[in-house]
Amino acid sequence: MAVSRGAFSSRIGFIMAAAGSAVGLGNIWGFPTQTASNGGAAFVLVYLILAFCLAYPAFMAEILIGRYGQANAVTSLQKMSRTLWQKRFGFVVGFGGIICAALILSFYGILAGWMMSFAVEPLALMLGANQAADWVVNQSLERNLLFTVLFMFLTIFIIRKGVENGIEKWSKRLMPMMIGLLVLLIIYVFTLDGASEGVEAYLNPDISRVLDPNLLVSALGQAFFSLSLGTSVMVIYGSYISKKENMVSIGAQVTLIDVSIAFLAGLLIIPAMYVAQAQGVAIFAADGSLNSGPTLVFDVLPSLFDGMGGIGLFIGFAFFLLMTIAALTSSISMLEGPVSYAVERHDIERKKATTMIGLAILALSVVIVANIDFMLDLVATISTQYGQPIIAMLCCVFAGWIWYRNELLAEIKQGNEAVESSLFWKIWPWYIKFVCPVAIATVFIHSIL
Ligand code: PFF
């Protein structure tokens, strides 16, 4: 394994890359959608609590495992294993995460392709290509194939360039652009009639729903998906961080960015729905609940943009560009998991490994596209509802039960000498040992029953 490893060149490089992985369609589409269908602010409140109390500790376990191992997920987990059984267990957990990342990418690339196609529509209209504009926003096998392929090629293009020149450089370019677009869109939507009603619906919690078990399951699932847990991605990103960095604080910063962007996305989408309502678009489903999921993003919002006239073309373009960028900084992290494994464990050259693995995942996406009615949901459920919580829980078990406490402390101390006397060190090791595995298992069992 004589491959020289890539690394992030700076703290901000890691923060942008990890936040780029975390912030994606989950934040800008999933979170507002879940909020809309789970009683508004009650969901936001529970989400914030779970993100910091359960997802952040699990996230810390994953990035610390990676920084300690300085290698892909399998090698990192095996480095802390002492017995043969632990090493086998390390393989199962690490490789399971890699498979999970690949499966997520196979369906995520299709959704991201839809975002791209909706970004192309306003451009086509501006150029007067009305037929093409119609084609790109209507479901068809050809449309889905074309945009999935385009999106996956973009992902492969960036990952072929490596950690510093690919992941870091592009995350540093795309993340500020994405945040800028988000803020501009919020400001614009706030100036429109109906927005204040939406803000109220978003921020006024129906406290009676806070303990609803279904809401808890959705909020935890959302938090895990959003922090890219249980996929090997944060282990590999952690392995590219310098030993000089204070992991406790950069982990907290990434979580904070992720949660804040989800919150901001809600502040854009929910008010935008009420603006759409003020313009005569139906935003409630027949059962009285707010429209969510695909209807929200592909019907309600485009109707809103259409109703705005000329400026709607620019706003629609900006919105779907924002979605595409957010998806891209996430998809590159999903591809990096399997690629780093192939490069480090099987000595395959990075460009070759990226192209081969990227095309293999694309082939799976093509199969999904061809059987979209049942496969899209199936692959999403297997990977996000089963794979992610199980692997994330097992990573906590690794950090809490297999990793020697003194080795763990020595690792965190690098870049954070005073950590031993901090609140973090008093709480986190117990948390990761007992609270996280039990809480994740409980929520997981409830979700499958
Ligand atoms: N965190 C991403 C989002 O919120 O859209 C999704 C994601 C990225 C999941 C990377 C898994 C992963 F490995």
Pocket test for ligand 1, best of 31, 167, 228 (most atoms within 8 A of CB): 228
pLDDT the model gives residue 447: 81
> Is 55 a pocket residue for ligand 1 (Cβ < 6 Å)?
no
* 409 within 8 A of 415, measured Cβ to Cβ: no
Pocket test for ligand 1, best of 226, 255, 340 (most atoms within 8 A of CB): 226
Give Cα 340 to chain centroid, integer Å. 19
pLDDT tens series, the chain, 449 aa: 445 688 999 999 999 999 999 999 999 999 998 898 887 889 999 999 999 999 999 999 999 999 999 999 999 999 999 999 999 999 999 999 999 999 999 999 999 999 999 999 999 999 999 999 999 999 999 999 999 999 999 999 999 999 999 999 999 999 999 999 999 999 999 999 999 999 998 998 888 888 888 888 889 889 999 999 999 999 999 999 999 999 999 999 999 999 999 999 999 999 999 999 998 888 888 777 777 778 888 888 898 888 888 899 999 999 999 999 999 999 999 999 999 999 999 999 999 999 999 999 999 999 999 999 999 999 999 999 999 999 999 999 999 999 999 999 999 999 999 999 999 999 999 999 999 999 999 988 888 88
* 3-state class (DSSP) for residue 80: coil
- Ligand 1 centre distance from Cα of residue 22 (Å): 5
CA distance 262 to 51: 11
pLDDT the model gives residue 4: 66
pLDDT the model gives residue 234: 97
> Is 104 a pocket residue for ligand 1 (Cβ < 6 Å)?
yes
pLDDT the model gives residue 2: 44
With a CB cutoff of 8 Å and minimum separation 6, the contacts of 329 are 17, 20, 21, 23, 24, 170, 171, 174, 175, 178
- Which structure tokens are listed for 333? 């992290």
Angle between helix axes 247-278 and 56-69 (nearest 10 degrees) is 140
- Count of CB atoms within 10 A of residue 246's CB? 17
Pocket test for ligand 1, best of 106, 333, 395 (most atoms within 8 A of CB): 333
Ramachandran area for residue 381 (φ above 0: left; ψ -120 to 50: alpha; else beta):
alpha
> Is 34 a pocket residue for ligand 1 (Cβ < 6 Å)?
no
The CA-CA-CA angle for residues 253, 221, 273, to 5°, reads 85
> Is 338 a pocket residue for ligand 1 (Cβ < 6 Å)?
no
The class level of CATH for 6-277+298-448 reads mainly alpha
Q: Which atom of ligand 1 is nearest to the CA of 231?
A: 13
- Could you tell me the residue ranges of all domains in the chain? 6-277+298-448
Q: Is the dihedral of CA 208, 28, 26, 18 positive or negative?
A: negative
pLDDT the model gives residue 301: 87
- Ligand 1 centre distance from Cα of residue 278 (Å): 33
